[in-house]
Structure 1
Amino acid sequence: MPMPRFRDSERLRLTTSSARTVRLAGATDGPPLLPWPVAAVGGGVLAALAGAVLVAGVVLVAWLSAIAIALPTVLGFAAQVWLLAHGGVLVIGDVGVSLVPLGLTAAFVLLCMPVGRFAYRQARLARTGDVSPRDDRRLVLGSVGQVALGYTLVAAALAWGFQGPALIWRPALGAIAVSVLGSALGAVRASGYRPWATWPAWLRRGLRGAAAGGLALVVVSSVALAVAVVLGEAGISTLEQAVGFDTGGVFVWSLITLAYLPTALGWALSWLLGAGFTVGTGSLVSLSGTQLGMLPSIPLLAALPSEGAADPWMLAWLSAGVAAGALAGVVAARAGRRGVLGTLAAAATAGLLAGIVFLGWAAASRGALGSLRLVDLGPRLWESLLIGVPLLLLSAVLAGLVTWLFRRGAAAS
Structure 2
Amino acid sequence: MDLSVASSARPRGGAVQPRWPWPVVTVLGCLLGVGGVWVVLTGILAPEWLALKNGRFSDLTGGATRLWLLAHGVPITGLGLHLGLAPLGLTVIIVLVGEQTCRFGARVMSAGRRAAGRVPSWRAAGQVAAVHASTHLVLVILLCGSVGAAPWPGGLVGGLAAGVIAGLVGAVRGARLDPAELVPPVLRGIPLAAGAGVAVVLAGGAIVLAVALLMHGERVIALHEGLAPGPWGGFVLFLVELAWLPDLLMWAASWALGSGFAVGIGSSVSPFGVHLGMIPSIPVLAALPDPGTPMIVARLWMILPVIAGAVAGVLVLRDRDGAGIGASVGYGAAAGAASGLLVALVGVLSGGAVGSGRLAQTGALMPQTLGLAVGLLGIGGALSSLVVALIRRHRNASGTPQTPEGGEERRTGGSHRVSRKRSWEDEAGEETRPVR
TM-score normalised by L of structure 1? 0.90
- Are 2:340 and 2:375, in contact at CA under 8 Å, matched by a contact in 1? yes
Equivalent positions of 1:4-403 (< 5 A) are 27-127=13-113, 128-131=115-118, 136-164=121-149, 166-197=150-181, 199-340=183-324, 341-403=326-388
CA distance in 2, matches of 1:304, 1:405: 43
- Are 2:71 and 2:91, in contact at CA under 8 Å, matched by a contact in 1? yes
The secondary structure found in structure 1 opposite 2:262 is strand
Aligned partner letter, 2:80:
D
CA distance in 1, matches of 2:182, 2:138: 35
More off after superposition, 288-297 vs 245-254? 245-254
Aligned partner letter, 2:29:
G
Shift of 1:251: 1.6
- Are 2:333 and 2:380, in contact at CA under 8 Å, matched by a contact in 1? no
The secondary structure found in structure 1 opposite 2:18 is coil
CA distance in 2, matches of 1:333, 1:225: 31
CA distance in 1, matches of 2:27, 2:73: 22
Aligned partner letter, 1:65:
A
CA distance in 1, matches of 2:36, 2:5: 47
Shift of 1:218: 2.2
Aligned partner letter, 1:113:
E
CA distance in 1, matches of 2:14, 2:105: 15
Residues 61, 353 of structure 1: alpha-carbon distance in 2 compared, 3 angstrom cutoff: farther
Shift of 1:333: 2.0
Provide Cα deviations, 1:56-96, integer angstroms capped at 9, x if missing partner.
11111322333532221122121111100110011231321
The secondary structure found in structure 2 opposite 1:118 is helix
Q: Count residues in correspondence.
A: 395
Aligned partner letter, 1:356:
L
Shift of 1:330: 1.4
- Are 1:327 and 1:396, in contact at CA under 8 Å, matched by a contact in 2? yes
Aligned partner letter, 1:233:
G
Which 4+ stretches in 1 moved above 6 angstroms?
14-24
* Counterpart for residue 7 of structure 1: none
Residues 49, 22 of structure 1: alpha-carbon distance in 2 compared, 3 angstrom cutoff: closer
* Counterpart for residue 9 of structure 1: none
TM-score normalised by L of structure 2? 0.85
Residues 56, 294 of structure 1: alpha-carbon distance in 2 compared, 3 angstrom cutoff: same
CA distance in 2, matches of 1:28, 1:172: 42
* Counterpart for residue 407 of structure 2: none
Provide Cα deviations, 1:34-68, integer angstroms capped at 9, x if missing partner.
22221122322222222222211111132233353
Residues 224, 272 of structure 1: alpha-carbon distance in 2 compared, 3 angstrom cutoff: same
The percent of aligned pairs where both chains have the same amino acid is 32
CA distance in 2, matches of 1:15, 1:31: 33
CA distance in 1, matches of 2:79, 2:332: 50
The secondary structure found in structure 1 opposite 2:77 is strand
CA distance in 1, matches of 2:37, 2:273: 40
Larger RCO: Structure 1 or Structure 2 (Cα < 8 Å, ≥ 6 residues apart)? 1
CA distance in 2, matches of 1:296, 1:396: 38
The secondary structure found in structure 2 opposite 1:278 is strand
Structure 1 unmatched ranges of 5 or more: 1-13
CA distance in 2, matches of 1:409, 1:104: 49
Shift of 1:319: 0.6
Superposition RMSD in Å: 2.3
CA distance in 1, matches of 2:2, 2:384: 53
The secondary structure found in structure 2 opposite 1:378 is strand
- Are 1:61 and 1:252, in contact at CA under 8 Å, matched by a contact in 2? no
Shift of 1:198: 5.4
Aligned partner letter, 1:323:
I
Provide Cα deviations, 1:241-298, integer angstroms capped at 9, x if missing partner.
0011212112211211110110100101111111110000111101101000111111
Structure 2 unmatched ranges of 5 or more: 399-436
Does residue 406 in structure 1 map to residue 391 in structure 2? yes
The secondary structure found in structure 2 opposite 1:308 is coil
More off after superposition, 256-265 vs 155-164? 155-164
